[in-house]
């Protein structure tokens, strides 16, 4: 008999009858979730008559699940051997994993120039019970402001790869695993010398990383797995999405970006192989109850992500305490949560209370959530009566006394509104460790969860004040007068994500909250502004006069050759200088960096124009009619560069048609320019203005580039080595001693 015929025969004789039985309860699946049978849903009158779930529903539905799993494994030729590798088994108990922005002030101290792993871990341990792994993010949203690719951004971190390796080792000392992201959309910046899978694997081995998060990827392909194993340093791969279950055999983890119906859904990848770990990621939610309840029901974890691209979406005291309790129970009973005999939606007495049963040998664990907004007490569930079996309420740390009911025992216990419960059944005596854990849970849950504050709060920001410059009565050489006056300062941030939630963008001194859109009438004092951005030649004079050498020299004047300006670059804007470098130059020159509203006043004047030269992006009406691309004309600003390697900015005086109302030149489209710095408890960021010539091709995720007068960029700050960029320069301003009359030519 041919192989195909033999398989068909096996299917008809053995599998087809099971399939027919499974059809009693068709499975409702979408993306990564398998939903509960429709008859379990509470129906409103307008939804038609409710269907009563038959008594045998659970058994039939569970049989359907099992058949689907067996059929999918057969179809995939699934073996799951990678889950058995000792070096990778940490994933099966890695429940709490935050995404850590390298710009977080709890992660790195810019003042001392040191990574502060202990400070970071002490904070999350104090607030919500600690973490099992961290995903360290060094790229988006800053990536694309110059041509550094994702690995070069990592290399730009303080201390280079050697410093990163030390930081990773600090996490490992605390038993915390470390992942880094990879962005396969990053095909517009520098091309690596070897294929991406090999390039990433080599660097991850060098820094002793444990795994990779596949940003935006619906499954990381097996080629990346093979590349890491070829180095002798196998990595765990965690794609952002994974509705395609064909990758579950080599992607041992993934994010769960779920829907959250009232009845918890089963994670289909966790069901395919119960050893698979999911970290539920619902980053913009301000209430984390859904995340934690779905995680506890599925025996998986949570992406405890608070610093979202520099926007602090911190968890509330209520959710922090819930996290502490859930993570404690999951870690203690982790071996149960990979049980191949997992039974989701174990029957419970009360509507709105849902359970998963996790049998392991002669012992069993149930993880239970109350989706109702009220407390419940009394009889909650029935279990098969077994002589000598003991039942423990793990959440409250006490033993339960079941009520006999024929061949069933009924368990009575309380469960809080939107709360959590775990039941442990064993015929044996509790170990000393287990008794100690019950005592810990009794102490932890003594205070009801609903007494913790559940109100979400944004983090207030402050603008860093740099102080006045040396004042001057007359315009110094190379500067022009901006006369000041009443000014409608109207601007918005161009962040890719976040909408207009509180905490996004910046908070000016006159505002109550950070947010994206800003409008304020200001009275701006007169000031002098550099007619052109500071050039390489001018910065060289500063170096010669002061012997300035920053403590952190990473990427300092990166485009200079052996400390010398490249031939022909003297009159181009100086780049690869940090905010600190620019401030040092300004102090030496008796100047300061402009406030953002001063920069915009100089570019816009008082008529609200969209560009420094007016409201028209086209050079002429004829160009517009002809469909000419204004970004390629070079009339007002440099031609855009979408290459994988930056060509370098244009000379500062190359585009005289782009002058502002006050004769300030080269304000937009050549290089971004440093202005104000803003800080909150967790993040530093600088506002950059004017846009740049470099616009890497291929992705919306690169640093947004805008050249209009009513937009600004927000660049997250960590340390000079990574903050410096080939796309950012600066210009200075000087305070006016008295308000002089504006003279011709200024």
Q: What is the 3-state secondary structure (H, E, C) of 446-503?
A: CCCHHHCCCCCCCCCCEECCCCCCCCECCCCCCEEEECCEEEEEEEEECCCCCCCCCC
| 114 in any annotated domain | no
CA distance 300 to 153: 31
Share of the chain above pLDDT 90, in %: 88
CA distance 170 to 178: 10
Q: Residues 309, 445: contact at Cβ < 8 Å?
A: no
Three-state SS for 215?
Answer: strand
Nearest residue to 362 via CA among 331, 328, 402, 389: 389
CA distance 418 to 374: 7
Tokens of 552: 């952190």
| 529 in any annotated domain | yes
In degrees and rounded to multiples of 5, residue 573 shows phi and psi of: -60, 140
Contacts of 36 by beta carbon, 8 Å cutoff, 6+ apart: 28, 261, 263, 264, 265, 345
CA distance 198 to 716: 29
- Distances 312 to 129, 139, 325, 506, 713 between C-alpha atoms, Å: 19, 17, 23, 12, 18
Where residue 739 falls among pLDDT bands split at 50, 70, 90? low
| 723 in any annotated domain | yes
pLDDT tens-digit profile of 109-153? 999 999 999 999 999 999 999 999 999 999 999 999 999 999 999
Between strands 733-735 and 527-530, the pairing is antiparallel
Q: Has residue 550 got a pLDDT over 50?
A: yes
Strand pairing partners for 108?
115
Tokens of 188: 């517009």
Contacts of 218 by beta carbon, 8 Å cutoff, 6+ apart: 239, 240, 241, 242, 243, 244
CA distance 178 to 484: 51
pLDDT at 25: 79
Q: Residues 702, 689: contact at Cβ < 8 Å?
A: no
Domain boundary (55, 76, 97) is at 76
- Distances 624 to 615, 656, 662, 706 between C-alpha atoms, Å: 13, 20, 26, 20
The length of the chain is: 746
pLDDT tens-digit profile of 229-265? 999 999 999 999 877 888 999 999 999 999 999 999 9
| 409 in any annotated domain | no
User: E strands along 272-331, which residues?
Assistant: 277-280, 301-302, 307-308, 311-312
Q: Has residue 24 got a pLDDT over 80?
A: no
CA distance 243 to 250: 14
Three-state SS for 355?
Answer: strand
CA distance 200 to 212: 9
pLDDT tens-digit profile of 648-691? 999 999 999 999 999 999 999 999 999 999 999 999 999 999 99
Tokens of 686: 């600088």
CA distance 201 to 233: 8
Q: What is the mean pLDDT of residues 490-508?
A: 95
Three-state SS for 580?
Answer: helix
Where residue 89 falls among pLDDT bands split at 50, 70, 90? very high
Q: Has residue 7 got a pLDDT over 60?
A: no
Q: What is the mean pLDDT of residues 38-52?
A: 80
Nearest residue to 82 via CA among 298, 307, 237, 203: 237
| 280 in any annotated domain | no
Give the range of the structural domain holding residue 707, as residue numbers without chain letter. 462-735
| 400 in any annotated domain | no
Q: Residues 305, 281: contact at Cβ < 8 Å?
A: yes
Q: Has residue 18 got a pLDDT over 50?
A: no
CA distance 398 to 443: 11
For the packed helices 317-332 and 117-128, what is the interaxial angle rounded to 10 degrees?
100
Find tokens 């045998």 and name the residue.
56
CA distance 107 to 164: 12
More confident residue, 41 or 656: 656
Share of the chain above pLDDT 70, in %: 96
| 225 in any annotated domain | no
Q: Has residue 575 got a pLDDT over 70?
A: yes
Q: What is the mean pLDDT of residues 721-733?
A: 98
CA distance 136 to 99: 6
Domain boundary (61, 76, 91) is at 76
What 8-state DSSP symbol labels residue 243? -
Nearest residue to 731 via CA among 568, 603, 563: 603
Contacts of 80 by beta carbon, 8 Å cutoff, 6+ apart: 249, 273, 275
Q: What is the mean pLDDT of residues 298-327?
A: 97
Query: What value does the mean pLDDT of the chain take?
Result: 94
Number of separate domains in the chain: 2
Nearest residue to 308 via CA among 96, 94, 104: 104
Q: Has residue 8 got a pLDDT over 80?
A: no
pLDDT tens-digit profile of 104-118? 999 999 999 999 999
Domain boundary (37, 52, 76) is at 76
R_g over Cα of the chain: 31
Nearest residue to 664 via CA among 611, 622, 588, 623: 611
pLDDT at 244: 82
Q: Which range (23-32, 64-73, 278-287, 607-616) has the least confidence? A: 23-32
Tokens of 345: 């939606």
Q: What is the mean pLDDT of residues 167-187?
A: 97
CA distance 323 to 318: 9
pLDDT at 708: 97
Tokens of 392: 């423990």
Nearest residue to 235 via CA among 365, 82, 79: 82
Say which CATH number the domain at 644 has: 3.90.1580.10
Alpha carbon 537 to its chain's center: 40
Neighbours of 49 (CB within 10 A): 7
Q: Residues 656, 665: contact at Cβ < 8 Å?
A: yes
Q: What is the DSSP string of 17-76?
A: HHHHHHTTS--EEETTEEEPPGGGSPPPGGG-PPPPPPTTHHHHHHHHHHHHHHHHHHHH
More confident residue, 48 or 361: 361
CA distance 122 to 101: 17
Three-state SS for 7?
Answer: helix
| 246 in any annotated domain | no
């Amino acid at each position: 008999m041919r192989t195909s015929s033999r398989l068909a025969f096996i299917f008809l004789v053995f599998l087809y009858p099971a399939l027919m039985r499974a059809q009693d309860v068709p499975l409702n699946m979408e993306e990564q979730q398998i939903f509960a049978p429709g008859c379990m849903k509470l129906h409103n009158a307008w939804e038609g008559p409710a269907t009563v779930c038959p008594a045998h529903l659970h058994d039939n539905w569970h049989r359907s699940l099992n058949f689907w799993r067996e059929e999918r494994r057969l179809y995939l030729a699934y073996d799951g051997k990678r889950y058995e590798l000792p070096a990778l088994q940490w994933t099966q108990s890695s429940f709490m994993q935050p995404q850590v922005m390298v710009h977080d002030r709890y992660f790195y101290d810019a003042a001392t120039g040191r990574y502060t792993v202990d400070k970071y871990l002490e904070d999350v341990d104090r607030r919500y019970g600690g973490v099992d792994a961290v995903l360290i993010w060094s790229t988006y949203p800053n990536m694309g402001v110059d041509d550094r690719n994702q690995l070069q951004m990592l290399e730009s971190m303080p201390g280079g790869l050697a410093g990163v390796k030390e930081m990773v080792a600090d996490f490992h000392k605390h038993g915390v695993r470390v992942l880094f992201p990879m962005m396969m959309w990053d095909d517009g910046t520098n091309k690596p010398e070897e294929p991406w899978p090999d390039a990433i694997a080599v660097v991850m081995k060098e820094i002793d990383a444990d795994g990779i998060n596949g940003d935006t990827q619906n499954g990381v392909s097996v080629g990346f797995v093979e590349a890491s194993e070829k180095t002798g340093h196998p990595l765990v791969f965690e794609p952002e999405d994974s509705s395609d279950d064909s990758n579950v055999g080599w992607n041992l983890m993934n994010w769960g970006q779920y829907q959250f119906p009232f009845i918890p859904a089963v994670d289909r990848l966790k069901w395919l192989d119960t050893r698979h770990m999911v970290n539920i990621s619902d980053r913009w939610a301000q209430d984390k109850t859904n995340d934690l309840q779905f995680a506890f029901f599925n025996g998986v974890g949570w992406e405890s992500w608070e610093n979202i691209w520099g926007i602090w979406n911190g968890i509330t005291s209520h959710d922090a305490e819930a996290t502490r309790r859930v993570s404690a129970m999951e870690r203690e009973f982790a071996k149960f949560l990979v049980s191949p005999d997992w039974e989701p939606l174990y029957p419970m007495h009360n509507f709105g209370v849902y359970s998963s049963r996790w049998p392991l040998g002669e012992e069993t664990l149930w993880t239970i959530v109350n989706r109702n907004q009220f407390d419940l007490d009394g009889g909650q569930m029935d279990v098969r009566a077994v002589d000598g079996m003991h039942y423990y309420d793990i959440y409250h740390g006490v033993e339960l006394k079941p009520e006999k009911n024929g061949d069933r025992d009924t368990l009575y216990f309380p469960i809080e509104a939107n709360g959590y419960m775990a039941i442990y059944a064993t015929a044996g005596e509790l170990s000393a460790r287990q008794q100690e854990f019950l005592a810990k849970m009794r102490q932890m849950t003594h205070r009801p969860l609903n007494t913790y504050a559940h109100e979400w709060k944004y983090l207030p920001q402050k603008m860093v004040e740099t102080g006045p410059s040396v004042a001057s009565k007359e315009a110094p050489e190379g500067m022009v007068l901006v006369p000041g006056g009443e000014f409608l300062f109207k601007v918005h941030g161009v962040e890719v994500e976040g909408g207009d939630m509180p905490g996004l963008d910046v908070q000016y001194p006159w505002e109550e909250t950070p947010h994206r859109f800003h409008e304020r009438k200001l009275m701006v004092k007169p000031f002098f502004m550099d007619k052109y951005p500071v050039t390489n030649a001018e910065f060289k004079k500063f170096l010669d006069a002061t012997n300035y050498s920053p403590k952190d020299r990473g990427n300092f004047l990166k485009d200079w050759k052996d400390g010398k300006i490249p031939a022909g670059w003297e009159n181009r804007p100086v780049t690869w200088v940090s905010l600190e470098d620019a401030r040092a130059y300004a102090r030496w020159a008796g100047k300061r960096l402009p406030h953002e509203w001063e920069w915009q006043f100089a570019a816009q004047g008082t008529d609200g124009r969209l560009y420094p030269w007016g409201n028209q992006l086209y050079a002429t009406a004829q160009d517009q009619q002809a469909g000419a691309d204004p970004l390629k004309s070079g009339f007002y600003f440099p031609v855009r560069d979408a290459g994988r390697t930056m060509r370098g900015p244009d000379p500062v005086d190359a585009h005289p048609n782009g002058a502002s109302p006050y004769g300030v030149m080269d304000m937009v489209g050549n290089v971004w320019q440093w202005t104000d710095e803003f800080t909150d408890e967790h993040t530093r960021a600088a506002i950059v203005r004017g846009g740049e010539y470099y616009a890497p091709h291929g992705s919306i995720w690169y640093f947004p580039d805008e050249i209009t007068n009513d937009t600004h960029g927000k660049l997250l700050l960590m340390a000079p080595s990574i903050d410096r960029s080939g796309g950012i320069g600066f210009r200075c301003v000087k305070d006016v001693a008295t308000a002089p009359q504006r003279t011709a030519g200024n």
